[in-house]
Structure 1
Amino acid sequence: MHFKTVAIVGRYQDTGLDAPLRKLAGTLGAAGCNVLIEADTAKNTGIREHTVASYQEIGKQADLAVIMGGDGTMLGAARQLADSNVPLIGINHGRLGFITDIPLHSANDALASVIQGNYEAEDRVLLEGRVVREGQTLFSGVALNDVVLNRAGRGGMIEVTVEFDGAFMYSQRADGLIIATPTGSTAYSLSANGPIVHSRLNAILLVPVAPQTLSNRPIVLPDSGTLSLTVTALGRVESGASVHFDMQTWSDCQAGDRIEVRRAKNTVRFIHPTGYSFFSTLRRKLYWNHMPQPSDEVE
């Protein structure tokens, strides 16, 4: 038994999620696992026949956390469990699902095999950052995908000065800037024409969002340094900017504020069934070598 105590976290907003969650819990119980149900998941699905646990309790007790939902559910769980070193495995009950990579229809068989030790593990980089104003930290957070500085509402472009380890890189006007991990390279960064970066690389991506100067291109940087973005001007007097750490938002960013981002000391460990391939995931999710048909299943 490689994972004696297993926690289940679900995207409880989905109608009918209780049935696949119960089936999953049954599979784990039949394999001899102690099953924990995350508290909000239990409350909103009515699944109370197993031990209900907070994220803090899961971090102390679980050997594995199974996340059923979309990538957003995984991001939230990863942030909650970042300090506990509990490995995560994702079952896709969403749309695209780059990091919840096990299809729902094969989830129970895949998980039963993983419990018996048939799995591969990989550690993913996390970012940590803070918003600083006049030497005071106003907001801080961690992110598995990205830290994003965006103009707020319908305001004009924002002007940003970018430094890496104190060295000046450039100043530019744009709708925003994305600082992404390799995991986040297939998220917002990808839609902004950023490169796909293999999950095993130790790197940070800096990707402009709709830059005024088209020569401002995405750049891949070593993850050993600190990126500093200073908002030098906002598009309009009444405009603002916001900073997003995955699912956490600071919406009162003003001219003069500085956003500092570096690699976090913790990592997130992902568990995959034996035979997992990063490239297979890309082929399947991005329809490489395949034209999607109306009958294709949306995972």
Structure 2
Amino acid sequence: MARNVVIKSNELEISKNIKKILIDKFLSIGFNTSEEIRDNTELVISIGGDGSFLRNVRDLNFPDIPFFCVNTGHLGFFAEILPTEKEIDIFIDAYLNSTYVINELYLLEVDIKGKDEVNHTYAINELVVRGNQSRTAHMGLHVNGNYMETFSGDGLIMSTSTGSTAYNYSAGGSIVDNRLNIIQITPISPISTNAFRSFTSSIILPGQDSEIAIKPEYKSEHTIITVVDGQEHKFNDVYEINVRNANKTVKLLRLSDYEFWDRVYMKFLKTYDYKIDEARF
């Protein structure tokens, strides 16, 4: 049976062109390609930005198959190569010769409990919980059954180490090496007054054996909003949200020169035109 590679792209013209190049190259070396996972699928290639990768993982139901990302977006933190034929040839050669590493991304497992149903999901980057229509959110925060605080503010971010460089970082949270299994809780615009006492900086918990419970306290409207890896959902009458380390990972294929902190420097601190200056990253 021929080896199979799933190739997914967003709707940008450059992404569609790169997809066609990849299909042609893999077919020429005896592989099959498809849009969906088959029994003989061994790799998923995501063409686009970081958001495309997150959507593809979710759409394919978090498979136990490595992903490889080609950047046609902006930041491209998950991406390994730029959208050029030279870069594609470097990748295919590395893949055929097994000169790569597999980076396992820790996930959050989330249960959103309402009066009538429980919504179950996973997050690669983060779960955000906030109030509706820019109202102040009030919620009890519990860790391993122990009361920590009644948070008041715009919301809370629960992030993985992978997600520490995403919304968490923009909200003032810490960047954490993605080899570490942690859960970071970062407040969004916390209120800390005599009336409302909230943590004003992030808390970092060990991923293993940590269970977080968020219990909304409704002052008026019984609605909260959750955002999981950029996908927003509105819920009514949620009484508890549980967050824990998932018993699964997402595998990301990295070329052998990948180094997390070098990527942090290149993406956040270095000033350059990546289309011109980044031959390899």
- Equivalent in 83, 107, 131 of residue 126 of structure 1: 107
Are the equivalent residues in 1 in contact too, given 2:156–2:186 (CA < 8 A)? yes
Paired with 1:85 and 1:197, the residues of 2 have a C-alpha distance of 24
Identity of counterpart residues, as a percentage?
26
Paired with 1:77 and 1:151, the residues of 2 have a C-alpha distance of 28
Are the equivalent residues in 2 in contact too, given 1:113–1:273 (CA < 8 A)? no
Are the equivalent residues in 2 in contact too, given 1:179–1:207 (CA < 8 A)? yes
Is 2:276 aligned against 1:291?
A: no
Aligned to 1:104, what secondary structure does the other structure show? coil
Give me the TM-score of the superposition, normalised by structure 1.
0.82
Paired with 1:6 and 1:294, the residues of 2 have a C-alpha distance of 28
Are the equivalent residues in 2 in contact too, given 1:160–1:173 (CA < 8 A)? yes
Are the equivalent residues in 1 in contact too, given 2:4–2:38 (CA < 8 A)? no
Paired with 2:71 and 2:170, the residues of 1 have a C-alpha distance of 21
Shift of 1:30: 2.8
Match of residue 182 from structure 1: 161
Paired with 1:240 and 1:251, the residues of 2 have a C-alpha distance of 7
Is 2:93 aligned against 1:113?
A: yes
Is 2:203 aligned against 1:219?
A: yes
Paired with 1:19 and 1:215, the residues of 2 have a C-alpha distance of 48
Is 2:233 aligned against 1:229?
A: no
Paired with 1:6 and 1:296, the residues of 2 have a C-alpha distance of 30
Match of residue 7 from structure 1: 6
Aligned to 2:58, what secondary structure does the other structure show? helix
Aligned to 1:85, what secondary structure does the other structure show? coil
The number of residues matched between the two structures is: 270
Match of residue 84 from structure 1: 63
Match of residue 198 from structure 1: 177
Shift of 1:83: 4.8
**Mean alpha-carbon deviation: is it higher for 118-127 or for 73-82?**
73-82
Distance 1:171 1:297, change over 3 A: farther
Are the equivalent residues in 2 in contact too, given 1:89–1:100 (CA < 8 A)? yes
Paired with 1:84 and 1:294, the residues of 2 have a C-alpha distance of 31
Distance 1:222 1:27, change over 3 A: same
Give me the TM-score of the superposition, normalised by structure 2.
0.87
Aligned to 1:63, what secondary structure does the other structure show? strand
Shift of 1:204: 0.7
Shift of 1:115: 2.1
Distance 1:139 1:215, change over 3 A: closer
Are the equivalent residues in 1 in contact too, given 2:57–2:63 (CA < 8 A)? no
Instruction: Write the letter of the residue equivalent to 1:27.
Output: K
Shift of 1:71: 0.8
Distance 1:171 1:276, change over 3 A: same
Is 2:157 aligned against 1:141?
A: no
Are the equivalent residues in 1 in contact too, given 2:3–2:40 (CA < 8 A)? no
Are the equivalent residues in 1 in contact too, given 2:172–2:201 (CA < 8 A)? no
> What's the CA shift string for 1:93-123, capped at 9, x where partnerless?
1110111232223541232123211111111
> What's the CA shift string for 1:54-107, capped at 9, x where partnerless?
3xxx05331000100111111112223455311101111111011123222354
Paired with 2:216 and 2:144, the residues of 1 have a C-alpha distance of 17
Paired with 1:99 and 1:242, the residues of 2 have a C-alpha distance of 26
Are the equivalent residues in 1 in contact too, given 2:81–2:88 (CA < 8 A)? no
Paired with 1:182 and 1:211, the residues of 2 have a C-alpha distance of 22
What RMSD, in angstroms, separates the aligned Cα atoms of the two structures? 2.4
Paired with 1:241 and 1:297, the residues of 2 have a C-alpha distance of 44
The unaligned stretches of length 5 or more in structure 1 are 39-53
Distance 1:206 1:215, change over 3 A: closer
Paired with 2:151 and 2:81, the residues of 1 have a C-alpha distance of 40
**Mean alpha-carbon deviation: is it higher for 193-202 or for 100-109?**
100-109
Match of residue 244 from structure 1: 227
Paired with 2:244 and 2:262, the residues of 1 have a C-alpha distance of 30
Are the equivalent residues in 2 in contact too, given 1:89–1:272 (CA < 8 A)? yes
Paired with 1:138 and 1:297, the residues of 2 have a C-alpha distance of 48
Instruction: Write the letter of the residue equivalent to 1:233.
Output: Y
Distance 1:21 1:139, change over 3 A: same
Paired with 1:146 and 1:282, the residues of 2 have a C-alpha distance of 18
Distance 1:241 1:259, change over 3 A: same
